[in-house]
Structure formats: structure tokens, C-alpha cells
Chains A and B, each alone.
Chain A
Amino acid sequence: MNLGKIVGVNGNLLTVEFEKPVIQNETGFALLGDVRLKSEVIRIRGCHAELQVFESTTGLKVGDQVEFTGELLSVELGPGLLTQVFDGLQNPLPALAEACGFFLQRGKYLQALPRNKKWTFTPSVKAGDSVLAGDAVGSVPEGIFDHRIMVPFRIAGRLTVKEVAPAGEYTVEDVVAKVADDKGREHEVRLMQLWPVKVPIKCYAERLRPTEPLITKVRIVDTFFPVARGGTYCIPGPFGAGKTVLQQITSRHADVDVVIIAACGERAGEVVETLREFPELTDPRTGKSLMERTLIICNTSSMPVAAREASVYTAVTIAEYYRQMGLSVLLLADSTSRWAQALREMSGRLEEIPGEEAFPAYLESVIAAFYERGGVVRLHDGSTGSVTIGGTVSPAGGNFEEPVTQGTLKVVGAFHGLSRARSDARRYPAIDPLDSWSKYPSVVDADDLKLARRFLREGSEVNQMMKVIGEEGTSIEDFIVYLKGEYLDAVYLQQNAFSEVDAATPAERQQYVFSALAKILRTKLKFENKEAARGFFQKLTQATRDWNNTAFESDEFKKQQERINAQLAEVTDYA
């Protein structure tokens, strides 16, 4: 066994003297009596390795031993991951609560996948077949999916199947197949495999461009600032602007197979809400509980900082694993700023030369590498799978000109900037319609979208102008543009998360309603005076909001639309 000796302790950073070779980023255990504290090598200088410990280091002494494992920080991949709640190092929290009670005891690590549970395996290859790493040898049912059992990702080259176990019941550690590489070496395939979290899984034929929209059922997102399957997006915003609520809504309604929530350095209370509520909610796609498609990685703000850094990698690795099964996965990371701060704390302890706001100089490349793990891929069997990444950013003081926001904006495909002004005005979701952008295709007609954007922009300009010269000095034409912009904002951009119907708008409904609204925006209107115009739009807003609350294509829906059209006909200028 490779042992080292502690020569220094500074916070959660250990300096360890070693003799046998040590690998960069391998894990080690600091031995504190019977307690083994997990840590990771992050720098090596001469015969001293520096390790970040994922726990509190209180009690460690100079001279205490450290055991090097020779393995990079890895996670267990296999059936039984879904519906689980893990901490950043893949410890199952409910099982930990059973073992240790109310508090997280340090040095207590449990196996992520239950070892005694039997899975019903059905083989899909036979001896003599040729396979590649990542190809399925069979499957087991896991909740709502067929979970593919794949050839370990780390075996290189073309492989030949030597043996396959017959259909039957197996635990995650049982060998279900043996494959041989071109040099004749045999490798075992189990239901479970290990993979280092910081290395992307690349067992696919090719990476494709993300073009298919991912429907979140949030109108302002799908219509104005869409997200694509396999795309990346970020949600920066000051505190209280609704980042977490927006992510919670997305995690409920998004049209994907698997949702992975990485609660990284945020409030424990918010995770508890998801934890306690999701099992009670039904997934409209499957009719089963929402929890069946959900996995939570939870390293809240008071849990150890180094594990917070690991948690986003744990989450993205599991996301990539399910992508390998041809599923579409959504990873929601809340918040990437806390993760960046974890990097900053470690960088400070290492006494590295700091960059802007004391963040390490490599911050941008680390952020870029993380978001680049999203993507849509074509697998060897021709099916496609995707990982979509949405990260929130919590900029200091709500100012987007800070390193984490800027580093993120460079690499994502869509930017949903939340604004304090909109959240103060209770205009939820508080995504700023003028500052945000997306490079992905929308679900609605491009010309209509252009028109709507124009009204939002010009309406806001008129509003600015009115603040200076007052309503009296504004022409009625400008005033109508302003009212139309406000109307669009009120009935389409804003969405009531607490209303049963309005909370989730499917793509077809968005297309239908949006083209109806575009028609209204195009209609020339005639009013006696501004009072009349304002009164009309107040009534129209009320009617359209009621429309939003009726079930799509129901009788009530059609009737309400007729009412809106009738209201509109009264003031249409046919000249």
C-alpha cells in the first residue's frame, strides 16, 4: 500500500510527504484513528503532495498517515441511481441519515448503489459478437427505463464478446459478460462500473449540433430564448430574482427523460422542498411520480467546500452515463458561482497568484470544460442521446460584469438574465426580455418573433421617454406601441407558476397563442384618447389572462378567444 505522512495542515489542505509514486488527482484517505477522511491530490511539489480533504480536518496531526488509493475520484455507475439523493461524493443521504442520525458524520462513506438488490438482466449480445466500449450487452429495467448494461467505457479498441450470462437476476457486482480485446486480454462486464468524474465519457460515434428545441413549457424561454437538446444555458441573477424557482419549474415540466439536479452550495431548505414534494407529483409524460426520472446531488452551503467542487462533476458524469443509453438528460446546476467560489477558496490556500476578484486564473477554462460536457451525440448503435446543462450564476451585487458570469457567457448557447427591476415589479419569470439572448431555434414563427421583439423594444423606449416628458407629450401612436408591448409582456412573458394551467404551456399551445397575439400586435387600432386606449388594454389583458387559464382547445378556450376577437374588432381601424 502506498502510504504518506502528513507534514502540514492548513484548513482543509494537507501537505503530505510521500515515497512511492503519486498520481495527480488521485484520491487518498487521511487516517485519523479509525476515521478515514477522503481527499484528493491537487498539487505535487518535490516529495510533497498537497491534498484537499472533503471533510473537516480537525484533529489531524503532523505525522499522521495518508493512504493513497491510486484511483482518480470516481463515481459508481449502474442501475439504481435514479430517485436517489446523493451528496457531492455520491453518498446516499437517506441511507446516511439512517446510519448516523441527524448530522453528517465525517469519514462515513456508504456505497452509492445498493449491493444486495437483484436486477432482472436480459442479454442483447451473444458470444462472438463484436462490440466497442459503451455498447450494450443487455439491459435491466430501472423504473420507467430499460437501463442499458454497457461495456466499461475505459476499455479501448474493438472487442469480442466471449461469454454472456443468461437472462436472470443479478446484483450490481455480478459479472454478466466477458469481452476480450485484440490482444486477447479478457475484461469483465458487471452491472456496475466506475468512472473518474473529471474525465468526459466519449464512447459515441460523433457529436452533433444541438438544433432540436428542448421544451421547458416556460413561454418566455421556449418562444423568446429557447434551449436546445444538448445545448447549454445560464441563468444569472441577483438574490431574490427567482433563479431557484425557475429551475424548480424547469425540473418539473421539461420535456426530457432524466433530470439531474445539482444543488451546489445553496440552501438546504430548497433541496428539502424538492425532496419532499417530487415523490407526490405526477410526471404527465409517464403518469408515474416525478421522482422516478429525477436524481438529486445535494451539497448544500454548509457541507464541506471541497465536496462542493466535486458535486458538479459527479452530476455531469451521471448525466453522461444516462446519455449513453440514448436518453435525453437535463442537468440543472444551482449555483455555479458557489462552485467557482470553492475553486477560489482552494486556490487561495494553495497561494496561487490570483486573477480578477481573487478567482484563479484558470477559472474560465474550468467553466468552459464543464459546459462543454453538454451536447447531443450519435451513439454507435445509431440512437442519439443528449446532456443539456442549465446553470444558475449568483453574481456578487447582481452585477453581471464579474468573472463567473462573463466566463459562463462565453461558452453557453443561451443567456437568461434575471433582472431585479422585473422581480420587484412581480413580473415572473423575471427574465429580462431585452438583455437575454439565445442562439438556438425557437418554437414559433421567426417573423412573428421579430415583430414581438420590436414591440417589446420600442414599447420600452416609449416608456423611458414618457418618464421624462410625461404622458401628455407622447403621441397616441407611440402610446399604443407602448401599450401593445406591455400587453405582450403581461399575457405572454409573465406566467403564473401557481396556476395549474398557466404554469406549463406546451409547444403547440405556445405556437397557437403566439400567432394569435402576433395578429393582435399587427392590427391597427383606433382610439378617441389615451384613457380609452389604456382602458381597452386593461380589459384585453384581463381577458387574455383568463384565456391563459383555460385548458387548451377546450370549449371555454375557444369561447374566450372569440370574446377577445370581439373586443378587438370594436376598436380595429379598418381605414
Chain B
Amino acid sequence: MHKVYHRIEQIAGNVIVVSAEGISYGELAQVTSDMGVSLAQVIRLEGGRVYLQVFAGGRGISTDSQVRFLGRTMQVSFSENLMGRVFTGSGVPRDRGPVLSENMIEIGGPSVNPAKRIIPRNMVRTGIPMIDVFNTLVESQKLPVFSVAGEPYNELLARIALQAEVDVIILGGMGLKHDDYLYFRDYLEENGALSRSVLFVHTASDPTVECLLVPDIALAVAEQFALKDKRVLVLLTDMTNFADAMKEVAITMEQIPSNRGYPGDLYSQLAARYEKAVDFEGAGSITILAVTTMPGDDVTHPVPDNTGYITEGQFYLKNGRIEPFGSLSRLKQQVNGKTRADHRTIMDTMIQLYASYKETLEKQSMGFRMSGWDSKLLKYGERFEKEMMALSVNIPLEGALDLGWQILADCFEPQETGISSKLVNEFWKK
């Protein structure tokens, strides 16, 4: 039987201090107050004083609330029974299902030995031309969607999750609006994907500390599935909320902030999560697709900035479209040489022409005269935006490539595109 402590010496923000002996760093405790029962984790030991971060927050805790140490670290149950279930950030069921307690696994485990990783080699098909053709998503890639509030990023994530050929979908929701949580759940259910999904959801009204646990718990479960040869897609939305929760906790702990109030280890903390994306040698894989909202559309804000240094590219979602400029998949070269002979050419040519179209638009707005070439570009740009860039477009890669040739053929003569004559002979639509 574990000893129960009754005297809380200090309560500041979400952190409480008790005097206790024989407590280990990172251990969990149960705090019982009039407000209910909450888990708490040891975040600092100082002589006999133990600092605990209370998951449900410090509100309502009295100086004589009960603290019972559990002698273990944060764990989550792992089995096939997780499928189709919804949990909170601390692993408590959010649906009406039973509490799971079999096969408990630790969360926030060690990192993968780089020698056991392999070079990613499989494309993830999404049916979205701006991804499949221009910035191909690759299995085991970690890729954020950079966006601003109000953009349909959650819809985009849900759609990719549904269409991607993966075995398991894990959603980690951080600071989600309750509507958005319901949207995800209903969307997956309506489309029959809930049975292969696990949802860990922290909504905006839940305690801040639980937000911090979401990525770890989601990724720990993902890792177990991947080790069982499953291809796992993890969706994390929104990582900016995760960073903000970290900021909040760090400031209450009186840590010295580094940049705009964020703690100095923001990079390491984000990296520890994103680096869980992996293609195991001889087992499954984890692909991470995250959302990072940029306050004020500012890509130099600490969260998107640090994220960009960690992830393998980014999708830049703006005005309801994935922008070709600013978006990048660093791993696309690994796969787009093996799809179809014209893939890279279509990718380069269409983007170069689209860039010229943008220049022409600028010229037009400044009142310069439009040449014949300019009118061709204008026609091309409009069709490209409507038929390729719009998020409503849903065609497989091959269809998208064919459509690309069709648009080119309708707007230009072959030699104007700079495509090599070999490919023109093979693919140009007459």
C-alpha cells in the first residue's frame, strides 16, 4: 500500500509541492481533492521536497488534499481494443467505452537507433494533386501543414487520413475546438474508418497539462503498432497549441524564456516528438502529419520556425489551397523517380509556368501591355488553379499527370514548355 500525503506546502499554477521520501523522478501520483481525482507527475526533486505537475490543474486543490504516489510513470494500455476508441490526453476514455488496463506500455520512450532506420521509399497516395504530383508525401515522413486560423486544415488532414493507404490512423488533438473533435469523429465514422483509428483528444476547455501528454501518448501507441508491422499515420493538430501549453507551464515554473516567451528547449521538445516518425528496418512505419498554425501568418514565429528545421518539408495552406511556393517535401526525390517517367517533368514544368503566370499577373496589375505569351499564361494559370490546386480536386496521381498534359496541350505549343522532345512524343495530348 502506498503512503498517502496530506500536507501540500505550495500551490502555484498547476504545480504543487509536498514533502515526501523515496520518490523517483518522473513518477506519477494521484491527487484527490474536492474537485475530484487527478493524476500528477513528479517534475522536480529538491531535497525532501517533491514538485508535482497536476494534470487537471491546480484549481480547487486545498492544502490538505490527498497525494498518493503510484510508483510508476505515465502508461497507456496497448491492444487491438484501442481501435475505434476515443481518449483524453491522460488516457481516460472520452467515449462511453470501458477503461482499458491490459498490457500497459510506457509513454515517451527512448529514441530509435539511427542504425535501425532505412531510407524511406514508399509513396503515400492522397488523391490530392498538389501533394501527389508536386510535393509527394512519403511513408515515414514528418510533415506539418503551415496555416493560419480559419483555413480548412482539419478538413485537409481528415481527407488525407481517409485516402492514404495506411493500416492505422491515430489522431492526437491538442486544444481542439469541441466541434472540430466531433467533426473528426463523425467524418471517420461516416466513412467507415473509425474502426482502424484511435483518437486522443484534448479540447480547448480541458486542463493545459493534458495537452502536453497528447503527442507522447499518441506516438507511444503508434510505435507499438509500427513494431507489429503496421503502417501508421499519426495526425497531430495543432502543434502550436502544444507549444503554447509548454510555454504556459515553463513560465509558471519560472523558467527563463528564450524567444517570445517560449522555453529554451522548444526545439528539442518538438524534435523529440517529430523524430518518432520512422521506417523500421524489418517492421512497420510511422508517418506524422501535423498542423502548425502560424500566428499572424508569420513563418518566422518560433513555433513554425523551429518546426521547419525539424520536419522534412511543409505544406503551406493558404486561401484554401496548398501553395506551390513555400510548400516542400524533402523526401519527394526518393519516390517520384519511380512513379511514372513524366512525373518529375510535369512537376517542374507546371510549377515554372505557374511562376511565370504569377509574374504576368503582376505585370497586368501594374498596367503593362499583355503580349500573346502573356495571354497564354493567363489562360494556363486560371486552369491550373481551378483544376489542380483546388482542394476539392480528387484524382489519383496518374489521372493528375494526364490532366497536366491536357492543360499544357490546351494552352501551349510543345516547344514553349521546354519539355524534352522524347517526353513530348510520348505524352503530349494531340
Chain A residues within CB distance 8 Å of chain B = 6-11, 15, 56-63, 85, 93-94, 96-97, 100-106, 238-240, 265, 267-269, 271-273, 275-277, 298, 300-303, 305, 338, 341-342, 344-345, 348, 351, 354, 357-359, 394, 396-399, 424, 470
Q: Is residue B117 within 8 Å, beta carbon to beta carbon, of the partner chain?
A: yes
CA distance A348 to B111 in the complex (A): 24
A333 to chain B minimum Cβ distance, whole angstroms, is 15
Q: Is the CB of A300 within 8 A of B264?
A: no
Q: Is the CB of A273 within 8 A of B119?
A: yes
Given contacts A61-B24, A104-B111, list 18 more A-B pairs with CB under 8 A: A7-B47, A8-B45, A10-B46, A60-B24, A61-B22, A62-B22, A62-B23, A63-B22, A102-B227, A103-B110, A267-B312, A268-B117, A272-B119, A302-B111, A303-B111, A359-B258, A396-B305, A397-B300
Q: Is residue B265 within 8 Å, beta carbon to beta carbon, of the partner chain?
A: yes
Q: Is residue B118 within 8 Å, beta carbon to beta carbon, of the partner chain?
A: yes
Q: Among A269, A272, A342, which residue has the most Cβ atoms of chain B within 10 A?
A: A269
CA distance A85 to B257 in the complex (A): 35
B396 to chain A minimum Cβ distance, whole angstroms, is 27
CA distance A56 to B110 in the complex (A): 8
Q: Which of A301, A348, A470 contacts B256 (CB 8 A)?
A: A348
CA distance A149 to B257 in the complex (A): 49
Q: Is the CB of A9 within 8 A of B25?
A: yes
CB-contacts of B94-117 with A (<8 A): 109-117
- For B26, what are the chain A residues with a Cβ–Cβ distance below 8 Å? 56-59
B313 — nearest CB in chain A belongs to which residue?
Answer: A240
Given contacts A8-B47, A61-B24, A397-B305, contact A354 B256 (CB under 8 A): yes
Closest 4 CB pairs of A and B: A397-B300, A301-B271, A302-B275, A58-B26
B51 — nearest CB in chain A belongs to which residue?
Answer: A10
Q: Is the CB of B114 within 8 A of A300?
A: yes
B401 to chain A minimum Cβ distance, whole angstroms, is 21
Sampled A-B contacts (26; CB under 8 Å): A7-B47, A9-B45, A56-B26, A59-B24, A59-B25, A60-B24, A61-B23, A62-B23, A97-B113, A102-B116, A102-B280, A102-B283, A105-B110, A265-B268, A268-B111, A268-B112, A268-B278, A271-B114, A273-B119, A302-B272, A305-B265, A341-B264, A348-B264, A357-B258, A396-B300, A397-B305
Q: Is the CB of A58 within 8 A of B73?
A: yes
Given contacts A58-B26, A240-B308, A302-B275, contact A103 B109 (CB under 8 A): yes
Q: Is the CB of A358 within 8 A of B48?
A: no
Q: Is residue B255 within 8 Å, beta carbon to beta carbon, of the partner chain?
A: yes
Q: Is residue B320 within 8 Å, beta carbon to beta carbon, of the partner chain?
A: no
CA distance A155 to B70 in the complex (A): 54
CA distance A267 to B277 in the complex (A): 11
- For B258, what are the chain A residues with a Cβ–Cβ distance below 8 Å? 344, 357-359
Chain B residues within CB distance 8 Å of chain A = 21-27, 44-48, 73, 109-120, 227, 255-259, 263-265, 267-268, 271-272, 275-276, 278, 280, 283, 300, 302, 305-306, 308-310, 312-313, 325, 328, 330-331, 368
Q: Which of A269, A271, A341, A470 contacts B120 (CB 8 A)?
A: A269
A571 to chain B minimum Cβ distance, whole angstroms, is 23
Q: Is the CB of B268 within 8 A of A93?
A: no
Q: Is the CB of B116 within 8 A of A101?
A: yes
- For B45, what are the chain A residues with a Cβ–Cβ distance below 8 Å? 6, 8-10, 60-62
A interface: dominant SS: mixed
Q: Which of A7, A301, A358 contacts B268 (CB 8 A)?
A: A301
Q: Is the CB of A302 within 8 A of B264?
A: no
Q: Which of B118, B256, B300, B325 contacts A424 (CB 8 A)?
A: B325
Q: Is the CB of A8 within 8 A of B22?
A: no
A181 to chain B minimum Cβ distance, whole angstroms, is 42
- For A345, what are the chain B residues with a Cβ–Cβ distance below 8 Å? 264-265, 268
- For A8, what are the chain B residues with a Cβ–Cβ distance below 8 Å? 44-47
Q: Is the CB of A358 within 8 A of B264?
A: yes
Q: Is the CB of B115 within 8 A of A275?
A: yes
CA distance A358 to B257 in the complex (A): 7
- For A96, what are the chain B residues with a Cβ–Cβ distance below 8 Å? 113, 115
Given contacts A61-B25, A63-B22, contact A338 B113 (CB under 8 A): no
Q: Is the CB of A301 within 8 A of B25?
A: no
- For A275, what are the chain B residues with a Cβ–Cβ distance below 8 Å? 114-115
A463 to chain B minimum Cβ distance, whole angstroms, is 14
CA distance A396 to B301 in the complex (A): 9
CA distance A470 to B367 in the complex (A): 12
Given contacts A58-B26, A62-B47, A424-B325, contact A239 B300 (CB under 8 A): no
- For A100, what are the chain B residues with a Cβ–Cβ distance below 8 Å? 113
Q: Is the CB of B113 within 8 A of A93?
A: yes
A345 — nearest CB in chain B belongs to which residue?
Answer: B265
- For B120, what are the chain A residues with a Cβ–Cβ distance below 8 Å? 269
B366 to chain A minimum Cβ distance, whole angstroms, is 9
B226 to chain A minimum Cβ distance, whole angstroms, is 9
Given contacts A93-B114, A345-B268, A348-B264, contact A276 B119 (CB under 8 A): yes
B199 to chain A minimum Cβ distance, whole angstroms, is 24
CA distance A268 to B313 in the complex (A): 14
A553 to chain B minimum Cβ distance, whole angstroms, is 27
CA distance A276 to B263 in the complex (A): 35
Given contacts A61-B23, A61-B24, contact A97 B116 (CB under 8 A): yes
B71 to chain A minimum Cβ distance, whole angstroms, is 10
Q: Is the CB of A104 within 8 A of B302?
A: no
CA distance A267 to B308 in the complex (A): 11
- For A342, what are the chain B residues with a Cβ–Cβ distance below 8 Å? 268
CA distance A357 to B328 in the complex (A): 29
Q: Is the CB of A103 within 8 A of B113?
A: yes
Q: Is the CB of A267 within 8 A of B310?
A: yes
- For B73, what are the chain A residues with a Cβ–Cβ distance below 8 Å? 58-59
A271 — nearest CB in chain B belongs to which residue?
Answer: B114
CA distance A22 to B328 in the complex (A): 51
Q: Which of B24, B264, B368 contacts A344 (CB 8 A)?
A: B264
Q: Which of A104, A301, A358 contacts B113 (CB 8 A)?
A: A104
Q: Is the CB of B114 within 8 A of A298?
A: yes
B253 — nearest CB in chain A belongs to which residue?
Answer: A10
- For A300, what are the chain B residues with a Cβ–Cβ distance below 8 Å? 111, 114, 275
A300 — nearest CB in chain B belongs to which residue?
Answer: B114
Q: Is the CB of A272 within 8 A of B264?
A: no
A199 to chain B minimum Cβ distance, whole angstroms, is 27
- For B309, what are the chain A residues with a Cβ–Cβ distance below 8 Å? 239, 394
B20 — nearest CB in chain A belongs to which residue?
Answer: A62
B353 to chain A minimum Cβ distance, whole angstroms, is 14
- For A397, what are the chain B residues with a Cβ–Cβ distance below 8 Å? 300, 305
CA distance A358 to B261 in the complex (A): 10
CA distance A272 to B280 in the complex (A): 12
Given contacts A60-B24, A62-B45, contact A85 B115 (CB under 8 A): yes
CA distance A305 to B268 in the complex (A): 8
CA distance A24 to B73 in the complex (A): 33
- For B265, what are the chain A residues with a Cβ–Cβ distance below 8 Å? 305, 341, 345, 348
- For B306, what are the chain A residues with a Cβ–Cβ distance below 8 Å? 396
CA distance A40 to B271 in the complex (A): 24
A303 to chain B minimum Cβ distance, whole angstroms, is 6
Given contacts A61-B23, A341-B268, contact A269 B256 (CB under 8 A): no
CA distance A502 to B280 in the complex (A): 35
- For B117, what are the chain A residues with a Cβ–Cβ distance below 8 Å? 268-269, 272
- For B116, what are the chain A residues with a Cβ–Cβ distance below 8 Å? 97, 101-102
- For B259, what are the chain A residues with a Cβ–Cβ distance below 8 Å? 357-358, 396
A411 to chain B minimum Cβ distance, whole angstroms, is 23
B336 to chain A minimum Cβ distance, whole angstroms, is 13
- For A354, what are the chain B residues with a Cβ–Cβ distance below 8 Å? 256
A244 — nearest CB in chain B belongs to which residue?
Answer: B330
A134 to chain B minimum Cβ distance, whole angstroms, is 33
CA distance A12 to B272 in the complex (A): 15
